[in-house]
Structures are given as structure tokens and as C-alpha cells.
Amino acid sequence: MRLVIAEDNVLLREGLILLLNEVGHEVVATASTGPDILPLLLEHRPDAAVLDVRLPPGFRDEGLRAAIEARRRLPGLLVLMLSQYVEETYAAELLAEGAAGIGYLLKDRVARMEEFQEALARVAAGGTALDPEVVSQLFNRHDPLDMLTPREREVLELMAQGHDNPTIAKTLHITERSVSKHIGNIFAKLDLPPSDSGHRRVLAVLTYLES
């Protein structure tokens, strides 16, 4: 297969190139930042792409976004995503675009050459290759609000009613500092992306209302 690799860690990227070349694949291009991926894929039109989920400049979901857009513009493109940690939200979003020819592995699997090659082979055959850790978390997904403590749910309910921090503190008979701490915990548990706090408050409220 002809492949494009996107990985900012030089040692891992070079290791992938050697591994793939040794088993008969051809790496036609490599990228180290998110914005480089789509142009390379459109230029080389490879059979498959091996992409890190988080890449410069933001180290958030640049690889994932590139993969989703590439699959829309290059139907049939095989994609194997690599991630340092289990990020079930990203895995679910990628799979929502169609599971055929998709893989999502933790980077630890790359060091286990047989597992990595087997996963790539399943993707190449039009199947799905998901890391066991990812599968475990996806099958145990639950209402995100279940992760909140009773107090955090009270704070979120008051946020949904449009109250500001001082009003929430007064209503619950706690300090504003405690309110800020609870809100920070809510943002983290709901996996809301870093942004301005006002935007995250809106996203938190939307999650509450949807639940």
C-alpha cells in the first residue's frame, strides 16, 4: 500500500517508516503538523493514512479533523489513527463517519509490531481495528452527567437557569471560590474543550439540557 504518515514525534515517525517499508508498504509522504495533512493526502492520494490524533499547532484534534475531511473528499481512503491516550469522544466521532476502513490504536500498540501490522491489515481489508482499551470505554459510555457529583449537578442546574457565580454561591450557601472549582470540575468531566469560559458555560448547559 501507498501511505501518508502524520506524526510530530520524529523517532516514532521514522520508526513507522522503517516498519512499513520492511513489510512491503511505500510511505509516499510524511507530515508533522495538522495543516499539512490534507494537502499531502489530496496531492498523493494514498491508499491509507496513519495519523496522530493530536498534532501541532494546537495539539488537540488536528489529525482527527484532517482524517474526517479527507474521508469525505477521498472516498475509500483507509485511516489508522494513533493516540497517546484513550480518547473515546474522538474515536466515536471518527466512527460516526463510517466504520469501514478505520483504525484507532494507542501508540503503545505500534511498538508491538505484530499487533500493529494486524490492525493495518484489517483496515486495509475494509474492516475496523480498534484498540481494546478504546472498545472497552466505548461500550461503557454513559450519560456524561452521571460523572458529576450531586453538588456539581446543582451548580450546573443553576447555570442552566442563567445564574452567575455570585448568585449560585448565594443560593447554595457556598463561596464563589467553591462555585468556580465546581464549574472547573464540570468542564473537565464533560470533556469540554479549552476556550473562553463563557463558551464552555454554554456547552455545559447544552449538555445538561440534552440529558
Residue 105, judged by CB atoms within 10 A of its CB (0-12, 13-18, 19+), counts as: buried
Range(s) of the domain holding residue 165 = 144-210
Of 197 and 59, which is predicted with more confidence?
59
The enclosing domain of 192 has a CATH number of 1.10.10.10
Asked if residue 148 and residue 112 are part of one domain, the reply reads no
Asked if residue 201 and residue 98 are part of one domain, the reply reads no
Q: What digits encode the pLDDT tens for the residues 166-200?
A: 999 999 999 999 999 999 898 888 887 665 556 67
Looking at 139, 156, 187, which one is the last position of a domain? Answer: 139
Looking at 102, 122, 139, which one is the last position of a domain? Answer: 139
Q: What digits encode the pLDDT tens for the residues 96-132?
A: 666 678 888 888 888 788 888 888 998 898 877 878 7
The number of domains in the chain is: 2
Lowest mean pLDDT among 64-68, 118-122, 127-131, 149-153: 127-131
| Gap between the Cα atoms of 76 and 101, Å rounded | 8
Triad 180, 183, 188: Cα angle to 5°: 125
The enclosing domain of 10 has a CATH number of 3.40.50.2300
Q: How many CB atoms lie within 10 A of CB 171?
A: 14
Looking at 117, 139, 161, which one is the last position of a domain? Answer: 139
Asked if residue 196 and residue 96 are part of one domain, the reply reads no
Is 0.85 topped by the overall pTM? no
pLDDT band at 146 (very low <50, low <70, confident <90, very high): confident
Q: Which three cell numbers stand for residue 51?
A: 495519523
pLDDT at 118: 87
Asked if residue 157 and residue 117 are part of one domain, the reply reads no
Please say whether the beta carbons of 155 and 183 come within 8 A.
yes
pLDDT band at 48 (very low <50, low <70, confident <90, very high): very high
